[in-house]
Amino acid sequence: MNQAGKRYLLWFAQEHVEFRFQEINSLLTAFNITMDFIEKPTDLQPYWMVKFASEQDAKKITQRSVLLRSCIELWGHSNSVDGLHEMMKKFPEHLMEPHLDEDKSFKIEVETFCKHFTQQEKVDKIEVFEYLPYKGPVKLKDPDTCLQYIEYYGVDPNAPPESPYRVFFGRWIASGLRQLIKYLSLKTRKFIGNTSMDAQLSLLMANQAQIRNGDLVLDPFVGTGSLLVAAAQFGGYVLGSDIDYLMLHARTRPSRITQQVRDDDEGVKANMMQYNLEKHYLDVLVNDCSIPFWRDNLMFDAIITDPPYGIRESTEKIGTSKVNCKISEDHLKTHIPAKVEYSLSTVYFDLLNFSAKHLKMGGRLVCWFPIFRDDYSEDDLPRHPCMKLEANSEQVLTKHTSRRLLTYEKIAEYDNCEDVENTIKDFRYKYYETREESRQERRSRKAELRAKGRLEAERRKVTKLSE
């Protein structure tokens, strides 16, 4: 571990725990920042104790993360309250004085994890820190220095211990982007659909794609454009495409129960205008992703997408089952192309091929991939010789299914890659097979219960007659 640098506490929201390392590692790589662990974290605990070379590095990571609540410069930590105060009394005053000088206002905040304190209890805990070298005035709103005292009581709110497992004290450095989740919430979004990605996961995908100011970003299965909103929020110039003409033109049935018909001005662009991001919006195009029409030399900095799984939305591509189908010139102008099924395995096969061809070197593809949890093996994930799998996180959906957020980075030019074989398992067919098996099991169980009920009724009847 690098001994240089100050100590910091990264304090996480207890959501999407599986994605923490992937998001932070993506941001560290994007900003070329080094972070060392003081103590190796576990999956459940909501904090990391780390070292950064500078406070600016700590701010950069925190102010871009959607999973971090805050970051504090760590002045003291212990396994007990008394141990923390003993440590703080020995903390060098010259390190605290610049932040507690007479011309600087301050306040102390008390935070607990998995245990509730009354306001009076919080005040009592603050007053114990009277030994600190305060010189400036107390200011509860926007002080120059905000000090944080944190008590951690584990992750089970139903059985917290009497005393905290860990206590921390330090100076607040920065807050994460948690407020952006509410600001971009689908509840207040102008244009949404049945499968619109929620704001937090959209921002998380944009972070794992390492989107920076000026990047050119594509979503080839754009839908209602949730991922474009997140990418534009971080400065990307966004393009989208989708085969669903009705969705892109807001002609589909509204998703909100309270809405009978869609407004005339609904659409992906309306979402961008809602958040003052229209200057980052390039366009959305009606396009079959199995037949890409981009110029060969067009390169994207990032591709983020959530392909359809064929469950809540159809997977289709242009085609026909007819042999030697021809369209006369008279009908060509008004012809609407027929569609055939676009298998999930082929969707990802085409997506990785397209990304290998149209991503810049080092550019990232971030996409969701559905799996059956019992059958999962990393060997079954989509692969391409030009694309390196950098991150793989799971979001559980049901008892049997989940989806994994996959992050690929382009490591070789497309012309130098060998042909890749399509060996991806198809999720859709097994999903419906499993669903049908579950239905049959439920029917059998109900039939058994009914039979047992009838048998029990006959037994009671016989007993009554015999008496």
Does 201 or 425 have the greater pLDDT score? Answer: 201
Same domain, 28 and 46: yes
Same domain, 271 and 123: no
- Please report the pLDDT score of residue 418 as a whole number: 65
- Please report the pLDDT score of residue 2 as a whole number: 41
Same domain, 251 and 268: yes
Q: How far apart are CA 265 and CA 270, in angstroms?
A: 7
Last residue of a domain, one of 176, 199, 223: 176
With H, G, I as helix, E, B as strand and everything else as coil, classify residue 359.
Answer: strand
In 3D space, the residue among 277, 272, 296 whose CA is nearest the CA of residue 357 turns out to be 296
Collect all residues with Cβ–Cβ distance below 8 Å to 291 and sequence separation of at least 6: 317, 318
Contact 103, 136 (CB under 8 A): yes
Sheet containing strand 47-52, strands side by side: 35-39, 47-52, 6-12, 68-78, 166-175, 145-152, 106-113
- Please report the pLDDT score of residue 68 as a whole number: 97
Q: Does pLDDT of 1 surpass 70? A: no
pLDDT tens-place string over residues 455-467 = 777 777 667 666 6
Q: Does pLDDT of 283 surpass 70? A: yes
Q: Does pLDDT of 91 surpass 90? A: yes
Beta strands in 258-357 (DSSP E): 281-286, 300-305, 316-318, 339-341
Same domain, 128 and 205: no
Taking every pair of Cα atoms in the chain, the longest distance, rounded to a whole number of angstroms, is 97
Residue 444 maps to a domain: no
- Please report the pLDDT score of residue 261 as a whole number: 87
pLDDT tens-place string over residues 232-246 = 999 999 999 998 888
How far from 75 is each of 36, 49, 57, 149, 175, CA to CA, in Å? 17, 11, 18, 10, 18
Same domain, 171 and 218: no
- Please report the pLDDT score of residue 313 as a whole number: 63
Same domain, 244 and 339: yes
Domain count, the chain: 2
Residue 258 maps to a domain: yes
Contact 346, 289 (CB under 8 A): no
> Across the chain, what does the average pLDDT equal?
88
Give me the numbers of helices (H) and strands (E) for the chain, helices first please: 13, 16
Mean pLDDT, residues 373-382 taken together: 87
- In the chain, the percentage of residues whose pLDDT exceeds 70 is 85
Structural domain span for residue 151: 6-176
In 3D space, the residue among 178, 182, 180, 202 whose CA is nearest the CA of residue 368 turns out to be 202
- Please report the pLDDT score of residue 334 as a whole number: 62
With tokens 């309250």, the residue in question is: 81
Residue 399 maps to a domain: yes
Q: DSSP state, 42?
A: P
Complete DSSP assignment for 231-249: HHHTT-EEEEEES-HHHHT
Q: Does pLDDT of 21 surpass 80? A: yes
- Please report the pLDDT score of residue 372 as a whole number: 87
Residue 197 maps to a domain: yes
This prediction has a pTM of 0.86
How far from 338 is each of 60, 303, 383, CA to CA, in Å? 49, 27, 30
Contact 408, 417 (CB under 8 A): no
Q: How far apart are CA 149 and CA 128, in angstroms?
A: 11
Sign of CA dihedral 201, 204, 208, 214: positive
Q: DSSP state, 142?
A: S
Contact 369, 404 (CB under 8 A): yes
- Please report the pLDDT score of residue 314 as a whole number: 63
Q: How far apart are CA 227 and CA 189, in angstroms?
A: 13
With H, G, I as helix, E, B as strand and everything else as coil, classify residue 50.
Answer: strand
For the chain, what's the residue count?
467
Q: Does pLDDT of 6 surpass 60? A: yes
Q: Does pLDDT of 98 surpass 80? A: yes
Residue 309 maps to a domain: yes
Sheet containing strand 387-396, strands side by side: 281-286, 237-242, 216-219, 300-305, 359-372, 401-410, 387-396
- Please report the pLDDT score of residue 50 as a whole number: 97
Helix boundaries (H) for 65-131 = 81-89, 93-96, 119-127
Residue 377 maps to a domain: yes
Q: Where residue 39 sits, what CATH number does that domain have?
A: 3.30.2130.30
Mean pLDDT, residues 435-445 taken together: 63
pLDDT tens-place string over residues 384-418 = 999 999 999 999 998 888 999 999 999 999 887 76
Mean pLDDT, residues 291-304 taken together: 92
Q: What are phi and psi of 152, to 5 degrees?
A: -110, 120
pLDDT tens-place string over residues 138-149 = 999 999 999 999
Last residue of a domain, one of 176, 200, 227: 176
Residue 274 maps to a domain: yes
Q: How confident is the model at residue 338 (pLDDT cuts 50, 70, 90)?
A: low
Residue 91 maps to a domain: yes
Q: How far apart are CA 404 and CA 423, in angstroms?
A: 18
Last residue of a domain, one of 125, 160, 176: 176
**Which run of H or of E encompasses 91?**
none
